[in-house]
Amino acid sequence: AEEMGALGIRVERPEEIAPAMEKALGAGRPAVIEVMTEMEALSPGASLG
């Protein structure tokens, strides 16, 4: 994201999501928020594809 001129933010904990959204919306440029998850945290029956 940064190399393309966008803001890049990584979120690793749920409580970081709202501040990341606020930062992205206030950046005045495109932003990418990468949300790290654990495979075990997926809902039963959910799939990634």
Residue 41 confidence (pLDDT) above 70: no
Residue 21 confidence (pLDDT) above 90: yes
Domain ranges of the chain: 2-37
Confidence of residue 48 (pLDDT cuts 50, 70, 90): low
Confidence of residue 38 (pLDDT cuts 50, 70, 90): confident
pLDDT of residue 5: 87
Distance, in Å, from the CA atom of 19 to the CA atom of 7, rounded to the nearest integer, reads 14
Q: Cα–chain-centroid distance for residue 45? A: 23
This prediction's pTM: 0.72
Please say whether the beta carbons of 41 and 12 come within 8 A: no
Residue 44 confidence (pLDDT) above 90: no
